[in-house]
Amino acid sequence: MHGKAPPTRADFDRLYEAEFDYVWSTLRRLGVPDAHVEDVAHDVFITAWKKLAEYDSSRPLRPWLFGIAYRFASDFRDRAWQRREVADAEPDTTDEAPTPEGHAQQSQAKQLVLRAMESIPLDRRAVFVMHELEGQGIPEVAAALDVPLNTAYSRLRLARRDFQAAVEKLRGAP
């Protein structure tokens, strides 16, 4: 605690309104199937609310939220593997809005990115998502995921390699 006033219902509403899409997208990028994103997002917001009083508001919010989402995504994956539910899982596409013809290519590219990221182990993928998709610096990534700086760089290097190989495979490259 930092001696500040406890968060209020209004704080929660603002957090939810501003960050719901971010949490939703993050969980999908971390491999949570669409059918389970809502449940996992529920746990993320519950935890974010419980820890909001501890959050240092001088720091950016999203890396902090990412750290929470990552832990729940990781836990979900562990449990799902135990239940053998996500073996050979592919990203769902059911909630994608219908895309106008002009956006079809972009939609295909998004699907390709999500499918390629499926092949990246989760600890590397978290670094990859934060850095390559969200533009976070590696020091911020390391802090959010609570790993040493060198580890974060190493995971990024491996994730890039995994990603490139997956894209080539999905495109049928030799």
Partner 1 sequence: MTPNDLEPLSPELQALLAAERPLTSAPAAAKSRLLAKLSTELFEVPGGDGGGSEGGSSSSGPSSGPGPSGAPPTGAGVSGAGVSAAGSGLVAKAVVAKLVVGASVASMAVGGAIGAGVHSAVVEERERQHRLAAPERPATERPPEPPPPPVVTAEPPPSPSTPVVIPPTVTAPAKPQLSADEQLALEKSYVEQARVAMARQDPNGALEALAHHQRRFPNGQLTEERMALEVMALSSAGRSIEARNAANAFRKRFPAGLLRSAVDATAPEE
Report the chain's C-alpha Rg in angstroms: 17
Which residue in the set 12, 119, 143, 165 belongs to the binding site for partner 1 (CB under 8 A)?
A: 12
Concatenate the DSSP letters of all residues of 142-162 into one string: HHHHT--HHHHHHHHHHHHHH
Our finding on whether 7 is near partner 1 (CB under 8 A) is yes
In angstroms, give the least distance from the CB of 80 to partner 1: 9
* Positions in 14-33 near partner 1 (CB under 8 A): 16, 20-22, 24-25, 28-29
Distance of CA 15 to CAs 46, 50, 55, Å?
12, 13, 12
Contact between residue 49 and residue 7 where contact means Cβ atoms under 8 Å apart: yes
Our finding on whether 86 is near partner 1 (CB under 8 A) is no
Our finding on whether 97 is near partner 1 (CB under 8 A) is yes
Q: Provide, for the chain, the percentages of residues in helix, strand and coil under a 3-state DSSP scheme, each rounded to the nearest 5.
A: 70, 0, 30
In angstroms, give the least distance from the CB of 172 to partner 1: 15
Residue 66: CB atoms within 10 A of its CB come to 27
DSSP code for 120: S
Contact between residue 28 and residue 34 where contact means Cβ atoms under 8 Å apart: yes
What element of type H or E holds 61? helix 61-83
Our finding on whether 50 is near partner 1 (CB under 8 A) is yes
Our finding on whether 95 is near partner 1 (CB under 8 A) is yes
* Positions in 131-170 near partner 1 (CB under 8 A): 132-135, 138, 150, 153-154, 156-157, 160, 163-164, 167
By rule CB under 8 A, what count of residues binds partner 1?
Answer: 57
- Site residues, partner 1 (CB under 8 A): 6-10, 12, 16, 20-22, 24-25, 28-29, 36-43, 45-47, 49-50, 52-53, 71-72, 75-76, 79, 95-97, 106, 109-110, 112-114, 132-135, 138, 150, 153-154, 156-157, 160, 163-164, 167
